[in-house]
């Protein structure tokens, strides 16, 4: 039929009728022309200082310095031989620059999640599932945060079709800032959303620990001196015991003779005092006295004042030893309550961080230059800058262009997907025009920024701009 066009923006090759979009909702048939349906997003540092279009716009250089053409809504280079959809030239502070703008189709990509919590989410390497399908695994804990790896090519394409679809959908929702519930084998459920507090088994996390048990001892030892005879900071990682700790010795504290369970590392620092869990300090205990192994009658004394507290200050209890040297709960003195509150004050809000990680392969680099390895070398040398949706990225050392970006630094809905399945993500390469020519870049495809801003072609959005919607093609 004459009103059908074939989309070649990805390997699916959708046949699209007039006024409809393909399976990805990204490309549509608009008046018989294959068109990227989402607007090309232009980032503006100071909108009130930039004039975009109209006869009275003179091309003030502020526009070049404070306007950045992102790849959000740009389109792709697929098939690989095509130049990038937008190659934009501008003069910035007297230097001719080029920014190559494209959306990458990434199968080799994943998310790294940092979840601020002391709660034990699950054992290391445990499978993480969403909607009943494996989508990742637990990696490790890093100083008050639990780390998860989500996605990756083996989940996207190495398992069943449904596993790939669910993994891709999970990644897309997390990358675009939506909340997703994940389940961990042998562990717990966690609701994750970039920039929001994690919710573990329906309980919202509030605080990220101030430090491990030993660090907490070191930070607050001076504030406890004279108000407590012993302080034990319960922690799944390192439990601290003040009078044994170097901080206590530095303050000339009297040994209290209270020995905790676990493996002693160095004086006043203990590993494995309990199993990991959702209780005190990320352990499985609800009664802190469970970790006390013995009280030495040669060192302890009746009336000894004992504070037991977690690394966030959310759990705290005050005890006084009776004549039999047994800890007896007692009202917490105001000075101790203030010190516990100070621990909480020094805890930062618990958040979920979502980093998108991908490798920029052939089509991306070929869209920038006819000799892609030269672009890779320029990126690794730092002479060409990589951004994603205008956000700064971290480029891993070593071969290739493997980068990570914080999704909260990107504009809303920067990511898309295609049914292969794969994630579509924006990427930009910026460099001096002289370098771009030396790399074998597609110099003949460079368009001046002023031309792009003045023309405001279909598919380009400025602040307040809207692109006419087209309907998704029905099955």
pLDDT in tens, 417-427: 998 899 999 99
Write down the pLDDT at residue 397. 93
Tokens of 456: 């405001």
Query: Which residues are paired to 137 by β-bridges?
Result: 127, 149
Distance CA 461, CA 388 (A): 18
Backbone phi, psi, residue 437, to 5°: -65, -40
- Whether residue 442 is predicted with pLDDT greater than 70 in this model: the reply is yes
In 3-state terms, what secondary structure has residue 454?
A: helix
Residue 467 pLDDT: 29
Q: What is the pLDDT of residue 469?
A: 31
pLDDT average, residue stretch 361-384: 90
CB-based contacts of 303: which residues, under 8 Å, 6+ apart?
320, 321
Whole-number percent of the chain with pLDDT over 70: 91
Mean pLDDT of 260-281: 95
The yes-or-no verdict on residue 77 having pLDDT over 90 is no
Alpha carbon distance 350, 285 (integer Å): 21
What's the confidence (pLDDT) of residue 144? 85
Of 83-97, 341-355, 452-466, the poorest mean pLDDT is in: 452-466
CA distance 138 to 148: 5
Question: pLDDT per residue over 126-183, tens digit each?
Answer: 999 999 999 999 999 888 899 999 999 999 999 999 999 999 999 999 999 999 999 9
H runs (alpha helix) in 278-371: 334-345, 362-366
pLDDT tens, position by position, 463-472: 333 323 333 3
What residues pair up with 446 in beta bridges, in sequence order? Answer: 87
Q: Is the pTM of this model over 0.75?
A: yes
Report which of residues 420 and 313 the model is more confident about. 313
Highest mean pLDDT among 55-59, 389-393, 450-454: 389-393
pLDDT of 81 above 50: yes
Comparing CA positions, the residue from 289, 272, 301, 211 lying closest to residue 247 is 211
* Average pLDDT across the chain, whole number: 89
What is the pLDDT at residue 168? 97
Mean pLDDT of 306-328: 97
Query: Considering only 10-14, 98-102, 125-129, 439-443, which range has the smallest mean pLDDT?
Result: 10-14
Which has the minimum average pLDDT: 30-39, 299-308, 447-456?
447-456
Asked if the model's pLDDT at residue 461 lies above 80, the reply is no
pLDDT digits (tens, 9 = 90+) for 199-241: 999 999 999 998 999 999 999 999 999 999 999 999 999 999 9
Whether the pLDDT of residue 384 is over 70: the answer is yes
Q: Can you read off the two tokens belonging to residue 159? A: 């398992």
Q: How far is CA 268 from the centre of its chain?
A: 35
pLDDT > 80? residue 363: no
The per-residue pLDDT for 468 is 31
Residues 6+ apart with CB under 8 A from 56: none
Residue 433, token pair as written in the block: 């025009």
User: What's the confidence (pLDDT) of residue 2?
Assistant: 65
Query: 275 vs 3, which has greater pLDDT?
Result: 275
Burial environment of residue 76 by CB neighbours within 10 A (0 to 12, 13 to 18, 19 or more): buried
Say if residue 265's pLDDT is above 60: yes
- 255 to each of 124, 260, 304, 309, 333, how far by Cα in Å? 37, 14, 11, 19, 22
In angstroms, the CA 166 to CA 171 distance is 9
Largest Cα separation within the chain, whole Å, is 96
Flag whether pLDDT at 41 surpasses 60.
yes
Determine the average pLDDT of the residues in 42-57: 58
Task: Categorize the per-residue pLDDT at 329 as very low, low, confident or very high, splitting at 50, 70 and 90.
Answer: very high
473 falls in which pLDDT band (50, 70, 90)? very low
Query: What is the pLDDT, as a whole number, of residue 45?
Result: 67
Residues 6 or more apart in contact with residue 354 via CB below 8 angstroms: 111, 112, 113, 174, 175, 192, 194, 406, 407, 408
Beta bridge partners of 2: none
Asked if pLDDT for residue 291 goes beyond 90, the answer is yes
Question: For residue 442, which phi and psi values (nearest 5 degrees)?
Answer: -80, 70
Q: What is the mean pLDDT of residues 102-121?
A: 93
Residue 86, beta-bridge partner list: 101
pLDDT at 61: 65
> What are the residue ranges spanned by the domains of the chain?
213-349
């Amino acid at each position: 039929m004459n009103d059908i066009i074939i989309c070649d923006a990805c390997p699916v090759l959708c046949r699209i009728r007039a006024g409809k979009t393909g399976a990805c909702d990204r490309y549509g048939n608009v008046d018989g022309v294959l068109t990227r349906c989402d607007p090309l997003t232009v980032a503006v540092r100071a909108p009130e200082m930039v004039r975009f279009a109209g006869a009275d716009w003179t091309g003030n250089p502020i526009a070049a310095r404070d306007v950045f053409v992102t790849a959000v809504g740009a389109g792709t280079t697929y098939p690989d031989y095509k130049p990038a959809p937008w190659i934009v030239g501008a003069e910035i502070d007297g230097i001719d620059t080029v920014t190559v703008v494209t959306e990458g189709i990434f199968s080799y990509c994943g998310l790294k999640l940092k979840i601020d919590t002391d709660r034990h989410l699950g054992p290391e390497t445990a499978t993480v599932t969403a909607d009943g399908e494996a989508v990742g695994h637990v990696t490790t804990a890093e100083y008050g945060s639990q780390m998860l790896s989500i996605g990756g090519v083996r989940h996207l394409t190495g398992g069943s079709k449904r596993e790939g679809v669910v993994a891709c959908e999970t990644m897309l929702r997390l990358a675009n800032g939506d909340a997703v519930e994940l389940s961990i084998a042998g562990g717990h459920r966690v609701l994750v959303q970039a920039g929001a507090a994690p919710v573990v088994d329906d309980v919202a996390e509030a605080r990220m620990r101030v430090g491990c048990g030993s660090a907490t001892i070191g930070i607050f030892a001076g504030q406890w001196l004279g108000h407590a005879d012993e302080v034990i900071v319960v922690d799944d990682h390192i439990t601290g015991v003040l009078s044994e700790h170097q901080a206590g010795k530095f303050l000339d504290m009297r040994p209290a003779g209270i020995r905790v369970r676990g493996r002693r590392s160095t004086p006043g620092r203990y590993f494995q005092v309990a199993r990991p869990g959702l209780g005190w300090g990320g352990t499985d205990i609800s009664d802190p006295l469970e970790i006390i192994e013995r009280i030495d009658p040669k060192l302890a004394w009746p009336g000894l004042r004992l504070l037991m507290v977690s690394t966030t200050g959310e759990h705290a209890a005050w005890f006084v030893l009776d004549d039999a040297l047994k800890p007896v709960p007692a009202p917490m003195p105001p000075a101790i309550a203030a010190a516990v509150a100070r621990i909480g004050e020094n805890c930062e809000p618990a958040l979920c961080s979502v980093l998108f990680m991908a490798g920029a392969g052939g089509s991306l680099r070929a869209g920038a230059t006819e000799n892609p390895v030269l672009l890779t070398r320029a990126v690794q040398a730092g002479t060409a800058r990589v951004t994603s949706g205008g956000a700064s990225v971290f480029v891993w050392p070593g071969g290739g262009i493997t980068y990570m970006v914080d999704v909260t630094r990107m504009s809303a809905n920067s990511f898309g997907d295609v049914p292969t399945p794969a994630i579509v993500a924006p990427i930009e390469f910026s460099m001096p025009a002289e370098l771009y020519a030396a790399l074998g870049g597609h110099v003949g495809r460079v368009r001046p920024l002023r031309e792009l801003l003045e023309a405001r072609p279909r598919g380009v959005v400025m602040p307040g701009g809207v692109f006419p919607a087209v309907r998704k093609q029905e099955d």
